[in-house]
């Protein structure tokens, strides 16, 4: 903590400011199962132990605060009752809900807490600031629909598409990132930097009724004037900030929070654009700073006072711009992502601000992400062009180091010298060369545990600790699942066929050839899928040619059912139904519990 601004307690004052009431007890249940539980984090009130980085422990103490808070006149926030915040803006007839959390149950509990203290106001409108599920999934906990719902243009597409194609792998990796299987304890999960963790209730989605398409667009909801700034390609592909001029309050969505955010989330996603992120923050300052006395976001606590607002948003801006520009400067000198990540240091003035610290994103993995965005996985060195995969690589390294005894001896030496990173690399080879080597596994688990306990970054800590857990206890099945019937129903027909295509087991389908026409009766759409050379090709409005082997007439709901293995009852057909069976026969289910720290 020597180089950290430990005397700066402003964040604690801001996190407590405006406190109205806490949820008591601080648990939310669904069918008797806890989907949210703040009580389990009460140990964070103690002094930081040796098993945690003091800076991350401090962030946990701030994020664990929960309840209803006043932001300014007529604006309240529910904080600490899910990963994200829900903001409540009081209008003439009721209340506008901004970002109704991830789970229906948490959103309902939050709204009830608000109403207990502010009266039984009806929800008159909803705003989704962006397309991530922790900002819309709880919507049915606050409304059944029938009210205006505003979202940035492209919201629906991105809300469903980001998790469609690689969703299984993202969910699996998310269990490493958020650590739901870890004990909540000083040795275990102490938050994820952005909040404590994700809730595990019901995810819903009501489509927006109005798109925000341009910066400067002004809308009046329940008598409240709101001016929007769209920020596509920042923290989410569809995102927006907004000002409530008559309350002098600015919402920065998830574009400026009290952490360095992810340019690339460790669960996996497409790389975000640090350059435009910084530009939109500059624009937000220019448009809104003179008209705001408070800035709040959909995570963490607000910042009050014009000077503080400008300093806060400018530093966030400088941080993303610096990371972007310096990465590009260094890569144009021939440095690779790994090298730049090692060399990059934020300016001291930025490091002195807590909110630039990497509790969720990190300088290290963000720099590699920026490199990846511009240059991809290959660093240009032919030695890295055609490497052996991990098991083959591991066997050879182990052989070269005199067998497993040699590797373990070397690993012990590096471990004793405190070079945990190289000890992890060596032991990882030992485990991949022989996954049944229990001694190597337990040594590697020990190294991961120490790396986790030393991490300032919450998601790094969770990754290391879940790795240790799975090395000793085997794969822990995922209990993070961002799919839901409403998200599935929001898929376009093209996305449904794309999802089908990525489940075709290529080699098994090499010799297969078939064509199916699909008439979506409820949408009055015509689609054709053809399977040839192991590729399932989709075409909307197919030109008439030779007839398909099978024509099916069905609803979109029935199509979704077919994909999830429900029988084809009630589907009208013409042609040979055996063709559908042949297609289904070459589909493979994804593996939601694939190994990560073992081969
Ligand atoms: Zn979020």
In this prediction, residue 1 carries a pLDDT of 56
- Report whether pLDDT(5) > 90: no
Provide the 3-class DSSP secondary structure of residue 224. strand
* Chain segment 226-260, per-residue pLDDT in tens: 999 999 999 999 999 999 999 999 999 999 999 99
Cβ proximity of 463 and 597 under 8 Å: no
The per-residue pLDDT of the chain, averaged, comes to: 95
| Ligand 1 center from residue 134 Cα (angstroms) | 5
| Ligand 1 center from residue 118 Cα (angstroms) | 26
* Chain segment 20-72, per-residue pLDDT in tens: 999 999 999 999 999 999 999 999 999 999 999 999 999 999 999 999 999 99
- 587-593 average pLDDT score: 93
In this prediction, residue 110 carries a pLDDT of 98
Lowest-pLDDT range of 160-174, 185-199, 510-524: 160-174
| Ligand 1 center from residue 440 Cα (angstroms) | 38
| Ligand 1 center from residue 299 Cα (angstroms) | 7
| Ligand 1 center from residue 465 Cα (angstroms) | 23
| Ligand 1 center from residue 532 Cα (angstroms) | 41
Token pair belonging to 244: 């409530």
Q: For residue 212, which phi and psi values (nearest 5 degrees)?
A: -95, 120
Lowest-pLDDT range of 267-281, 432-446, 457-471, 537-551: 537-551
Provide the 3-class DSSP secondary structure of residue 464. helix
In this prediction, residue 69 carries a pLDDT of 98
Q: For residue 349, which phi and psi values (nearest 5 degrees)?
A: -65, -35
* Chain segment 147-159, per-residue pLDDT in tens: 999 999 999 999 9
Q: Which long-range contacts (CB under 8 A, 24 or more apart) does 416-421 make?
A: 420/447, 420/450, 420/451, 420/454, 421/451
| Ligand 1 center from residue 356 Cα (angstroms) | 17
Cβ proximity of 456 and 358 under 8 Å: yes
In this prediction, residue 308 carries a pLDDT of 97
d(CA 574, CA 516): 10
| Ligand 1 center from residue 482 Cα (angstroms) | 13
| Ligand 1 center from residue 135 Cα (angstroms) | 6
- Report whether pLDDT(484) > 60: yes
| Ligand 1 center from residue 566 Cα (angstroms) | 34
In this prediction, residue 479 carries a pLDDT of 65
In this prediction, residue 480 carries a pLDDT of 60
- 189-196 average pLDDT score: 98
pTM of the model: 0.96
Q: How confident is the model at residue 138 (pLDDT cuts 50, 70, 90)?
A: very high
d(CA 599, CA 597): 7
Lowest-pLDDT range of 247-256, 414-423, 526-535, 554-563: 554-563
Q: What percent of the chain has pLDDT over 70?
A: 98
- Report whether pLDDT(544) > 80: no
Which burial class, exposed, middle or buried, applies to 7 when counting CB atoms under 10 A from its CB (0-12, 13-18, 19+)?
Answer: exposed
| Ligand 1 center from residue 83 Cα (angstroms) | 7
Cβ proximity of 203 and 476 under 8 Å: no
- Report whether pLDDT(2) > 60: no
Token pair belonging to 42: 């009460």
In this prediction, residue 568 carries a pLDDT of 76
| Ligand 1 center from residue 527 Cα (angstroms) | 36
In this prediction, residue 482 carries a pLDDT of 61
| Ligand 1 center from residue 431 Cα (angstroms) | 36
Name residues whose C-beta falls within 8 Å of residue 539's C-beta, 6 or more positions apart in sequence. 527, 528, 529, 530
| Ligand 1 center from residue 281 Cα (angstroms) | 17
| Ligand 1 center from residue 593 Cα (angstroms) | 25
| Ligand 1 center from residue 151 Cα (angstroms) | 15
| DSSP percent split of the chain into helix, strand, coil, nearest 5 | 40, 15, 40
Q: How confident is the model at residue 564 (pLDDT cuts 50, 70, 90)?
A: confident
| Ligand 1 center from residue 132 Cα (angstroms) | 6
Which burial class, exposed, middle or buried, applies to 561 when counting CB atoms under 10 A from its CB (0-12, 13-18, 19+)?
Answer: middle
In this prediction, residue 563 carries a pLDDT of 76
């Amino acid at each position: 903590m020597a180089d950290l601004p430990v005397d700066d307690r402003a964040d604690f004052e801001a996190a407590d400011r405006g406190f109205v009431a806490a949820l008591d007890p601080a648990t939310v249940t669904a069918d008797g199962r806890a989907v949210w539980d703040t009580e389990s984090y009460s140990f964070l009130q103690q002094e930081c132990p040796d098993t945690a980085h003091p800076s991350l422990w401090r962030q946990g103490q701030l994020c664990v605060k929960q309840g209803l808070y006043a932001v300014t006149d007529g604006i309240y926030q529910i904080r600490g009752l899910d990963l994200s915040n829900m903001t409540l803006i009081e209008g003439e007839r009721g209340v506008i809900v901004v970002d109704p959390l991830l789970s229906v149950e948490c959103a309902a509990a939050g709204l009830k807490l608000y109403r207990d203290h502010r009266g039984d106001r009806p929800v008159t409108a909803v705003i989704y600031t962006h397309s991530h599920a922790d900002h819309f999934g709880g919507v049915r906990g606050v409304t059944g629909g029938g009210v205006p719902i505003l979202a940035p243009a492209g919201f629906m597409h991105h809300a469903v598409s980001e998790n469609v194609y690689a969703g299984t792998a993202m969910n699996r990796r998310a269990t490493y990132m958020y650590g739901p299987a870890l004990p909540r304890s000083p040795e275990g999960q102490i938050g994820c930097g952005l909040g404590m963790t994700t809730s595990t209730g019901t995810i819903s989605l009501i489509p927006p009724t109005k798109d925000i398409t341009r910066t400067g667009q002004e809308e009046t909801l329940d008598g409240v004037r709101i001016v929007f700034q769209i920020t596509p390609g920042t923290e989410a592909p569809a995102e927006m900030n907004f000002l409530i001029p008559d309350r002098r309050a600015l919402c920065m969505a998830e574009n400026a929070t009290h952490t360095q955010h992810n340019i690339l989330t460790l669960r996996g996603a497409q790389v975000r654009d640090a350059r435009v992120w910084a530009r939109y923050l500059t624009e937000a300052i220019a448009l809104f700073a003179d008209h705001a006395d408070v800035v709040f976001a959909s995570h963490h606590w607000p910042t009050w006072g014009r000077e503080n607002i400008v300093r806060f948003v400018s530093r966030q801006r400088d941080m993303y711009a610096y990371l972007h520009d310096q990465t590009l400067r260094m890569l144009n000198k021939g440095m690779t992502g790994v090298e730049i990540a090692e060399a990059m240091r934020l300016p001291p003035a930025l490091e002195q601000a807590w909110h630039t610290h990497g509790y969720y994103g990190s300088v290290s993995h963000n720099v590699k992400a920026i490199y990846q965005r511009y240059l991809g996985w290959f660093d240009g060195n032919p030695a890295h062009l055609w490497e052996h995969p991990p098991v083959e690589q591991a066997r050879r390294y182990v052989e070269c180091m005199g067998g497993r005894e040699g590797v373990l001896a070397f690993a012990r030496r590096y471990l004793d010298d405190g070079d945990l990173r190289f000890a992890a690399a060596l032991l990882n080879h030992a485990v991949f060369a022989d996954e049944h080597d229990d001694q190597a596994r337990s040594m590697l688990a020990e190294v991961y545990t120490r790396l986790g306990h030393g991490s300032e970054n919450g998601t790094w800590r969770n990754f290391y600790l879940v790795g240790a857990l799975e090395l000793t206890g085997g794969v822990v099945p995922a209990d993070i699942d961002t799919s839901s019937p409403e998200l599935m129903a929001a898929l376009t027909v093209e996305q449904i066929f794309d999802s089908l295509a990525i489940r075709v087991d290529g080699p098994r389908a090499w010799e297969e050839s078939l064509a199916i026409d699909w008439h979506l009766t409820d949408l009055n759409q015509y689609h054709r899928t053809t399977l040839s050379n192991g590729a399932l090709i989709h075409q909307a409005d197919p030109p008439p040619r030779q007839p398909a082997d099978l024509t099916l007439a069905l609803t979109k709901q029935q199509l979704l059912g077919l994909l999830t293995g429900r029988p084809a009852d009630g589907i009208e057909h013409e042609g040979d139904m055996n063709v559908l069976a042949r297609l289904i026969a070459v589909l493979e289910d994804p593996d939601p519990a694939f190994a990560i720290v073992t081969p």
